Amino acid sequence: MTKLLEKHSPESLNVEGKTIYVCGCCGFEYIGDLDSEPDDYVCPICGQPKKVFKRKAM
């Protein structure tokens, strides 16, 4: 799980020009194209489905 968190950590990536989605339950930030994840993708922190993610307003 640590590698997954590092992969999507804002501190480890240059997020300029990238889309950020925020989990509506726990606030985890997914950086990238969430649509590229399978339909059964869940938040690595709280286990909620990807439908609870909302695009972060920049």
pLDDT per residue as tens digits for the range 6-41: 655 555 557 778 899 999 999 999 999 999 999 999
d(CA 41, CA 38): 5
pLDDT of 43 higher than 80:
yes
| Predicted pLDDT at 41 | 97
For 1-58, list the strands marked E by DSSP: 20-23, 29-31, 53-55
Structure tokens at 15: 């997020």
**Domains of the chain, CATH where assigned:** 2-55 (2.20.28.10)
Residues in the chain: 58
| Predicted pLDDT at 29 | 95
- Does residue 8 sit in helix, strand or coil? coil
pLDDT of 1 higher than 90:
no
Structure tokens at 3: 């590698």
Structure tokens at 9: 């950590």
48 or 2, higher pLDDT: 48
| Predicted pLDDT at 9 | 57
